[in-house]
Amino acid sequence: MFFDAYPRFYETSQTHASAGRLNLRYEAVFTQNADVFKDARVLDIASHDGRWSLAALRSGAAEVVGIEAREDLVEAARENLAAYAPAGRYDFRTGDIFEVLAEKRFEVDVVLCLGFLYHTLRYNELMRGIRDLDPRYLIVDTAILPNVKKTMVRLRRERSERARNAAADRFSYGDRVVVGTPSFSALKLILKGYGFEIERLSDWGALIQGNPEAAHVSDYANGGRVTALCVSRE
């Protein structure tokens, strides 16, 4: 399994760091989409402890920029990649992704939006920022509303002090952030509104069937989470 060779990632975060889940997510995002990473310039949104940035580099990416709101996770990412990747091919920055996308331009081929879309309601702002970068591919791994055919978003509040939740931003009130989980049809509408189309969904059924011992993947098994390779149609 991929992360067995990089065990620091089992220790530098408490956010879904179980071996089975991490490694199957690697397979879904990177192995099943290996063709899009060769020599690619990658932007990793909400890059956490650098786990997916390293995976992108090991999948053939030329360089990765990671944006993460929490300084402790940025420091963990820098330390992790210093141990596992050549210097000069990665850059981690602390900041609100919305502010960063509004202020800076990156030359990117692939954008990773893994585990972030259901921790915000600022879909238009996020997608316009991604659209302005003009990437060829966008990979989204997100919770969705299972078995819901309507185009809708279910709202909830998250405590921002928890690392696995939304980070506080200028729209937060107190220690809570209002976020939303889209249905699959809502996800497609959000993507279509900014010139992206789902080209393929990762085959989580086959991954789970082939790895029955993997724990903490029930959300993927029951249709409550998907991994989608999206292609720009602009």
Q: Tens of pLDDT along 189-212?
A: 999 999 999 999 999 999 999 999
User: What CATH number is associated with residue 155?
Assistant: 3.40.50.150
Report the range of poorest mean pLDDT among 12-16, 56-60, 219-223.
12-16
> What pLDDT, on a 0 to 100 scale, did the predictor assign at position 16?
58
Domain boundaries, position 33: 2-232
Q: Look up the pTM and report it.
A: 0.96
- Phi, psi dihedral angles at 68 (to 5 degrees): -145, 135
Q: What is the pLDDT of residues 76-134, one digit of tens each?
A: 999 999 999 999 999 999 999 999 999 988 999 999 999 999 999 999 999 999 999 99
User: DSSP 3-state assignment of 138?
Assistant: strand
Residue 11's Cβ-count burial label (10 Å; 0-12, 13-18, 19+) is exposed
> What pLDDT, on a 0 to 100 scale, did the predictor assign at position 18?
86
Q: What's the rounded Cα separation, in Å, for the pair 55 and 51?
A: 6
Q: How many domains does the chain have?
A: 1
**Helix segments in the chain, DSSP class H:** 19-26, 51-58, 71-84, 97-103, 123-133, 184-192, 204-210, 218-221
Identify the CA nearest to 25 among candidates 170, 161, 189, 216.
216
